[in-house]
Amino acid sequence: MAVNLQLVPAAAGKRLGAAVIDWLPPLAVLVVTFALGFAGITRTRSGGFIIYDTASLVLFGSIGLGLTLVYLVAVMGMEARTGKTPGNLLMGIRSADNDGYAPGARAVFLRGLITGAGILLALLVAVLVVVFTWFGAALLILAPLVLAGGVWAVLVVVSNTWDRNGKLRGWHDAAAKTLAFDVKAGRNPITTGGIQGPYSFAPMDLPPVQQVLSPVAGASVPKVIDAQPAHTPVQHAPVPSANVPKVIDAQPAHTPVQHAPVSSPAGTPQAQQAQTPQAHVLQFQAPQQVPGIHVPEPRARQHHPDDDVDRTQVRPGAAAPAPVAVLRIRLDDGRDFQLDRSVLVGRNPVGQSGEQQAQLLAVDDPGRSISKTHLHLLTDGAGIWVTDRNSTNGSAVTTPDGHRTPLQPGVPAFVTPGSSVHFGDRTFYLGQA
């Protein structure tokens, strides 16, 4: 069965449904206990003064507040560790931090404080009503406050509707730096590796590796086509042609290769090679029959140790290959780094399965604009493949001519030296040593 690896933000309707389910138990407890408490208040006259007996209100109110506090602590603790609440479970959503992991106690507390600010204000006024015995006007004072608090809570929960960034965050999410995901329609990041999730880092559009075909001794092969990658200058040295086919090794892209010259015996004609911009065609000529000379039939050739060697070793003293430029990046704070083959960049980058050998480049970011593992860099000789690891604030590339292109999450982009890569509020410049 296929697994949906996409992240789907929770819709406002599901957010509101989950919040209502979470609010119902404590709201019911508070309504019942305070109703019993107010019903038990007695009024007596003594010396011309009215005395209220609020013992029942204090008792039942304390019970209601205590049960509500226990419920809130339990629910907030569960959400801080797992992103779950009773409402989230029933509606199929999960709350998470910026990187897709469990939100933590601080974020959950701040979200709850902003959402329930109106209800908390009503509770504070209820306490003042009891202290100053404003029971005659209690209903007129508390009813509007409770209604306003409920309306405010609903507006906060569905405020992601007005978020211009894909309706990802509500007002409370923006303050607490949290997100909410629909785990029925998409992936649950908390249990599948955060926002990055199960992800392959090999670029999908790199040129394929070309196989090298070596002719077998005695086989009748009229021609062999050895496709070369585009833009690969290759120089071939002449070799003796005694009806022996020439084998050209396929070279990777961006790698100029020079072959050392091989001396040929006197009087031996040189094999002609036909070269086109896209492919090298090697032709083999069968031995001609000369009158009066008997050409023996080819016999089975014995195995030779050189048969297992596909390319000639360069002699000592031969011209060494040209040095390959070393790629480096310079951060906007002036720090300079030489790149390994595979690099992970972020606030606190961590390699996933198969990335244990990656170079980890931690970048300071007090404003938390970049993700823990924001970018993956893969060096490729003439440049680097840059992949945005589904970061929250995204990435972009500015080429030397000033053209800025946003990176698609999870899609490798080839970046050449002289370009700048922007991730969150930080930037690095790609150059060569």
Q: How confident is the model at residue 302, as a pLDDT?
A: 56
Domain final residue pick, 151, 182, 213: 182
Domain boundary among 182, 206, 222: 182
Predicted pLDDT at 386 = 93
Nearest one of 247, 200, 264, 210 to 232, comparing CA atoms: 210
Instruction: Give residue 234's identity as a one-letter amino acid code.
Output: V
Distance CA 268, CA 278 (A): 30
Q: How many residues does the chain have?
A: 433
First vs last Cα of the chain: how many Å apart?
49
**What are the residue ranges in the chain where pLDDT is below 70?**
1-5, 46-52, 130, 133, 135-139, 197-325, 353-356, 433
Could you list the residue range(s) of the whole structural domain that residue 18 is in? 12-182
Asked if 382 and 393 touch (Cβ cutoff 8 Å), the reply is no
**Residue ending a domain, choose from 182, 207, 231:** 182
How far apart, in Å, are the Cα atoms of 375 and each of 18, 35, 79, 101, 133?
34, 57, 29, 18, 62
One-letter amino acid of 155: L
Asked if residue 216 is part of any domain, the answer here is no
Domain membership of residue 161 (yes or no) is: yes
- Give the pLDDT score at 243: 43
Name the E strands within 380-425.
384-388, 395-398, 404-406, 413-415, 420-423
Q: Is residue 209 part of a domain?
A: no
Question: What is the reported pLDDT for 353?
Answer: 66
Task: Say how far apart CA 139 and CA 129 lie, in whole Å.
Answer: 10
Predicted pLDDT at 149: 86
Q: Are 339 and 379 in contact (CB under 8 A)?
A: yes
Alpha-carbon separation of residue 318 from 69, 75, 322 (angstroms): 82, 74, 12
Q: What are the CA-CA distances from residue 317 to residues 234, 239, 262, 320 (Å)?
A: 21, 20, 14, 8
Contact 428, 330 (CB under 8 A): yes
Q: How far apart are CA 78 and CA 80, in angstroms?
A: 5
What total of structural domains would you count in the chain? 2
Percent of the chain with pLDDT strictly greater than 90: 30
Q: Which residues pair with 227 in a beta bridge?
A: 279
At residue 415, the pLDDT reads 92
pLDDT of residue 102: 92
- E strands, 75-197, where? 93-97, 178-182
Say if residues 346 and 369 touch (Cβ distance below 8 Å).
Answer: no
Amino acid 63 reads I
Is 21 within 8 Å of 90 (Cβ atoms)? yes
- CATH number for the domain harbouring residue 387: 2.60.200.20
